[in-house]
Amino acid sequence: MPPEKNQTQGEGYLAVRTVIELTRTMDLLEDLLARHFAHFNLSQPKFNALMELYYAGEEGLPLSELGQRMLVSRANITGLVDRLERDGLVVRVVDPKDRRVIRAQITPRAVQLIHGVLPLHMDLLKRATSSLNIEEKETLIRLLVKLQQGLDKL
């Protein structure tokens, strides 16, 4: 086999390996987080939505705003808020100033839930990344951000 061919294959190999290892890592991570959230009848999307509403405060957020912050389509926000409302973690309130707008607000019960879950969640993330030392985490973050910048352009 000619060496140029080898180089080309090597280049492709690293590209494929990069994507494969990224995928494997996220699969493991998502699995871990899903198992963690399941203990509280939560999921990653539910948790993310609750965190947004938690930091948004009393007035909550319009569904459209919540959707944009979560990078999720409007159609799905409807369903997600449906489920959170069914669980008693969120209420829908019509905005009096613009009756097209429906705001999602967090309930006291959800605030209590978040206060219970958040410390455990932080612990889990620390444990999940504990196989890397501080320098390695910083390097990983730097490389991921650089990779993202390349991906953004495509």
Partner DNA sequence: TTTAATATATTTACAATTAAAGTACAGAAT
Partner DNA sequence: ATTCTGTACTTTAATTGTAAATATATTAAA
Give just the sign of the alpha carbon dihedral 145, 132, 27, 34.
negative
**62 sits near DNA (criterion: CB under 7 A):** yes
72 binds, among its own copies, DNA, none (CB under 5 to 8 A by kind): DNA
Which residues are near its own copies by CB under 8 A?
A: 11-12, 14-19, 21-29, 32, 71, 122, 125-132, 134, 136-141, 143-152, 154
Choice between 100 and 126, CB closer to DNA: 100
**Interface residues for DNA in 75-114 (CB under 7 A)?**
75-81, 83, 92, 98-103
Q: How far is the CB of 102 from its own copies (least distance, A)?
A: 26
Which tokens is 36 given? 């963690």
- What is the DSSP code string of the chain? --HHHHHHHHHHHHHHHHHHHHHHHHHHHHHHHHHHHHTTT--HHHHHHHHHHHHH-TT-EEHHHHHHHHT--HHHHHHHHHHHHHTTSEEEEE-SS-TT-EEEEE-HHHHHHHHHHHHHHHHHHHHHTTTS-HHHHHHHHHHHHHHHHHHHT-
**Interface residues for DNA in 14-33 (CB under 7 A)?**
none
Q: How far is the CB of 109 from its own copies (least distance, A)?
A: 25
Q: How far is the CB of 90 from DNA (least distance, A)?
A: 11
Answer for which of 18, 64, 133, 139 binds DNA (CB under 7 A) is 64
Choice between 99 and 130, CB closer to its own copies: 130
Which tokens is 144 given? 């991921």
- Residues lying near DNA in the complex (CB under 7 A) are found at 43-46, 62-65, 67, 71-81, 83, 92, 98-103
